Chains A and B, each alone.
Chain A
Amino acid sequence: MKKTVLVASAAILLFGCKKDEPAPPSGSNSASTSIVAGEGALVACEGNFQGGNAKVSYYKFSDGSVVTDLFSTANNRPLGDVCQSISFSNGLAYIVVNNSGKIEEVNPSSYVSQRIVNGFTSPRYMLQVAPGRAYVTDLYANGVWIMNTVNNTISGMISVPGETEAMEPVNGEIFVTSPDRDQLYVINSVTNTITDSITVAKGGNSMVSDANGKLWVLCYGDYFTSAPGGLYRIDPQTHTVEASWPFTTAESPTRLCCNSTRDTLYYIDNDIYRMPVTNAALPSTPFISAGTHSFYGLAVRPSDNELFVTDAVDYVQQGHLLRYTRQGVLTDDKQVGIIPGSIYFY
């Protein structure tokens, strides 16, 4: 009896003790990575909110190699919480780290940090509007920050009643979306004052200017009231809406961008849609179907109109950077950081 008990106990002790180990890092994290302008794409990987795992990943066009985490490799510290966007000016790159309330100024070749600008509330995007001066939109600051890029300090704020998100410069004026308002604000970048506002749908998230000098604004609507979003064509001279295309309440379009000749628009609405600027209606069929992907970021490479798209999978594991030909054929798929969002060709 005792023997049986001992054997049974030993079997229980040894039962199923197979242990998972951490996955080896995907891509390369070589400390000697040097970014050469024009040779690759940068991906702002947001990481999880309050997870502190924001990253900047780099994809090299020639061989498809990936560096998953440029910043921490170069600086021996994590980037921060939620990498929202990257901006380039004066030969430097500015990484906007949303939930850390800061902007990291880095050398765009080595990604070694030069300076940090603190004091933002929840910064989203940065735009150089004049030599030595940039605007920074913010989710919670009720305004647009004015940043001095010479000494990297916050020099002021343009008050806006609500969130501020995307910016687009047209003829010396800066158009700013406000996702929680149904307004598009116009700022005079010389006087730093709001000069006008244009009524659009709520959820304004991205803008582009087309070849005809028109401004296109994409809005995802209002999640709380289920008010639908829309696509708007605006005359930036008169500040009027020339045409609009409403979406349904079930749709949530984001990431408006255009091709190199600025005559074709692309956006994500679960799938990827393509629309010539001369179209009279929204496209009814997708250009690229999402299939097994969760499309999150989108950019068109200016040199050949190849599409670069990010897939956030389930938002708690590493995402993917997908490369499509201009005809929409998938040619490459590489793992990058968690929640890859904005894509930049530098």
Chain B
Amino acid sequence: MNRKAGSAVLFFTCLCACVPLVATGQVTKDTANAKTTDADMQYGLKGVIIISTPGSSGPGGLVVSRPDSGITEQQQCGTLNDLLGSSGAMFSKYYGANGLSSPGLRGSSPQQTPVVWNGLNLQAVTHGQVDLSLFPSILFDNVSVQPSGGSSLNGDAPGGGITGVSYTPYMSRQFRFSALAGSFGENSLALSFGDGKPKYAYDIKAFRQQAVNNFPFDNPYVPGNELTKLQHAGFFQQGAAGDFNYEFRNRRNLSVHSWVQETERDLPPTLLTNPNASWQHDYALRTILTFSDFSHDKWWYSASAAVVHNGLVFYDGYTQPASNTDEWEYVSDIHFRKHFGEGYFSAGLCNQYSVAVVTQFIPLHHQERPAAYLSFQRQFHKLQLSGSAREEMYDAKWENPVIRFGARYDIRNWIAVYGNVANTYRVPTFNELYWSPGGNPNLKPESSFGQELTVEFSRGGSYINGFYSATVYNRNVRNWILWVPGPAYWSPENVLAVRSRGIEHRLQATCKLNSFTFTLNGYYEFNRTTKLKTTIRGDSSLGLQMIYVPQQRISGMLRIAWKYWYVQYVHEFVDIRFTAADHSEYLPAFNTGQFTCGTSFVHRNEKAELFIRINNAWNTFYMVTADRPMPGRSYEVGVTFRFEKKRDVFPAVK
């Protein structure tokens, strides 16, 4: 059986298994009443929680930004990389079409930037990264980006920031089908359906994405910039996810979230490397089971357990045997919360047990990390205070406690100031600890201390509403782990102290004028991420911007909607990125633009949407990673059919 055929069989087997087994519902708590919900909840292992607050403020003084809802709808057939890239929500180090897309916020490394799905950290325990190209947008009903660290419930808390993702409950019977076709053999399908009854609710989602990616580009390395076609860059992934929620007694709920997928990628050569036949196969199974008891007026508790299996098979295209990465994670969490007046207090215990093996490179290893955490939030008229603390055991030792404190003060109804201070840490990955040769079992966790302060101006009204915010931030990371050359081979060591600081501006405005609606989003970031200290011998890059961290990034979106029609333009500017630590080499800055126009048809509970999109409309030649060309101008056509009938089947949130 060839690989494609095998993949199809696996996909449909998993899908069939999922339908009866997972029939999922979403979580039991309505998040509409956001102001009483704390930031930390979204990172605990339990159902839901992404909060909807006006402006860019998250709870507890944290900055939280979300992709534009219109772009989210258009990217139902894409990946998180497409969604977050199109919306300007973050900059990821993207290795070209179908390649690895690793997130970084405010100069953080990919290992410091987790992606969280329904409270579950998706970072691989071996290499500590996530690949946003592997996460289909359809599986994430609600996406938010939190640029700073500070969640003490998340365990391996980031030094750099969090992308939080989560489901929101469907309180309706719904069916949605999206299809997209585009240049260079791109085609994607996404399907979801669900229903909610008084006792249970579920939804099922399935997706299939593929592309050939044989796009032409003017090769700058060939005399006369000869037109060259990218080779060996095909991509195929498919999977399914389900959520099931059952209320078996008075507001006592059992929920299951499950997600299975596989991805196959041919790995294209860089502009200057020898073509070869390398490929990579990723697969994953993630399941979360949660019991929650909301039957009491003043308190509730929940208990969760999760199992994650990540696999990766990599073949380098030469004569070396393929390497297999197999990792399992077992996560458990018990959470208790007591409400009082305008606030709450919560506490919990959790444990993460990880096992991983990489053929040829990492023999079987396991790791256990139990932790306890506390958090509180209290509203005093215009002032909201929140805080949390976490103590975790790593390598049989208690780590320094992680503590966060945040505050928000609404000076007037149009202006607010909020901020937080937090220390965080990152536990070394299995690769860093055990890779043979070079793994260093004596590594210390990275630790950081960060602060951010935001001023936000908001305006609400029937014709014009929106907000503008400016944030200044600073973060110092100690014991930054880097692979450095040793006498025999490279080995990770705690070699750097890094400081990241900068300023961010966010603007969002909506104006309604007769039948027209104008939506304007803008984002600007200036970031300086530099080495403060290094133990690398002869390192002359102290005080210089670190590699692959743009100093400036600007993105903006303008959408003009008229009745059922809209046109939309998204522009992004990314500053130069140094590729050599001493700034002797760099990738030039680039501007890209994306045009979309679309329409929708509504009939009772049915809605059909159609759009046409021009990516890289100015046909800019650019590279995000050295020697990996990005596609020039390309076209996509997408259609979505949606049926939705509202029901009220879930208990109200407390």
Contact = CB atoms under 8 A, between A and B. Distances in A.
A314 B544 contact: no
A51 interface: yes
A5 interface: yes
A141 B438 CA distance: 26
Interface string B527-549: 01000000011111100110100
B605 interface: no
Interface string B144-163: 00000000000000000000
A250 B487 contact: yes
Contact of A22 (B270, B360, B583, B626): B583
A316 B580 contact: yes
A223 to B, nearest CB: 4
Contacts of A293: 537-538
B502 interface: yes
Chain B interface extent, by class: 35 or more
Contact of A317 (B221, B470, B541, B552): B541
B551 A80 contact: no
A78 B437 contact: no
A140 B272 contact: no
Given A78-B272, A316-B547, A223 B581 contact: no
A250 B583 CA distance: 33
Contacts of A22: 576, 578, 583-584, 586
B526 interface: yes
A102 to B, nearest CB: 7
B96 to A, nearest CB: 11
Interface string A299-340: 000000000000111111110100000000000000000100
B223 A101 contact: no
B501 interface: yes
A87 B469 CA distance: 61
A113 B146 CA distance: 51
B514 interface: no
Chain A at the B interface: mostly helix, strand, loop or mixed?
loop
A100 B83 CA distance: 34
A293 B583 CA distance: 20
The interface size bin for chain A is 35 or more
A76 interface: yes
A265 to B, nearest CB: 19
Interface in A13-49: 13, 15-23, 25-26, 48
Given A16-B502, A313-B539, A314-B536, A53 B485 contact: no
Nearest to A270: B487
Given A221-B488, A226-B437, 6 more contacts: A8-B455, A20-B583, A51-B626, A120-B274, A252-B489, A316-B547
List 7 A-B pairs, minimum CB-CB distance, nearest first. A101-B274, A252-B488, A140-B318, A223-B437, A317-B582, A52-B627, A317-B581
Interface of B: 221-223, 270-275, 318-320, 360, 411, 415, 436-438, 455, 470, 472, 484-485, 487-489, 501-503, 505, 526, 528, 536-541, 544-545, 547, 551-552, 576, 578-586, 626-627
28 contacts: A1-B411, A12-B470, A12-B503, A15-B503, A17-B503, A20-B551, A25-B584, A50-B627, A52-B271, A53-B579, A54-B272, A77-B222, A80-B272, A99-B273, A100-B273, A102-B274, A122-B318, A142-B319, A223-B488, A252-B489, A290-B537, A313-B539, A314-B581, A315-B485, A317-B539, A317-B581, A317-B582, A338-B580
